[in-house]
Amino acid sequence: MPELMTSYSLTFQALMLIFATLLVQNLVATMAHRKQGRYTPGIIDPQLSHGSFVFRSHRTFINSLENLPLLLGPALIGILSGFDALKLGVMCSIYAATRLIHMGLYYAIATERNPSPRSYFYMVGLLVSIVQLVMVLIHVLRLP
C-alpha cells in the first residue's frame, strides 16, 4: 500500500486539493446563505440570480458536486488498475486548478453573460474529465 501511495502521490495531492476546495465552497455557500435577513435552510430563493453572492456561492458548490464524480470515478479506477501515475496526476492537477480558478471567477464576477470567464475554466475541467475517462477506459479494456 505505501508504494501505491508514493506512486500516485500527485494524484492524491490533487484529489485532496479538490476536496479541500469543495469544503471551502460548502462553508462559503453556507455562510452566505445564513447572512441573509430571511432564509429557509436548504432553499435558495428562485428570484436570485448571478447578481446575488448567495446564488453564485451556491451554484459554485453545486457545480463542483455535479462534476466531481466524472473525475473521481475514473481516477480511482485508474489507480486501482495501474494506469500511468504521472498522466493521472497531471490530469487531476489540471482539473483541481481549473476548479479553483472557476470558483474564484464565479465568486468575483456577477454576470448573466454566457460564456463568461468562468465558463472557459469549466470547459477545460470538463475536457480533462472526458480525456481521463477515455484514457482510463482504454487502459482497463486492454487489461488481461
Report how far apart the first and last C-alpha atoms of the chain are (Å, whole number): 22
Which cell goes with 28? Answer: 462559503
Which cell goes with 20? Answer: 479541500
- pTM, 2 dp: 0.92
The per-residue pLDDT for 113 is: 86
Give mean pLDDT in consecutive 10-residue pieces for the chain, a chain of 144 residues: 87 98 97 84 83 94 96 97 98 98 94 89 97 98 93
What burial class does residue 23 get, using C-beta atoms within 10 Å of its C-beta: 0-12 exposed, 13-18 middle, 19+ buried?
A: exposed
CA dist 106 and 110 (Å) reads 7
The per-residue pLDDT for 1 is: 67
Q: Alpha carbon 95 to chain centroid distance?
A: 7
Tell me the residue range of the domain where 52 lies.
Answer: 2-141
**SS in 3 state form for 52-64?**
CHHHHHHHHHHHH
The per-residue pLDDT for 104 is: 96
Q: Per the structure, how many domains does the chain have?
A: 1
Q: Where residue 11 sits, what CATH number does that domain have? A: 1.20.120.550
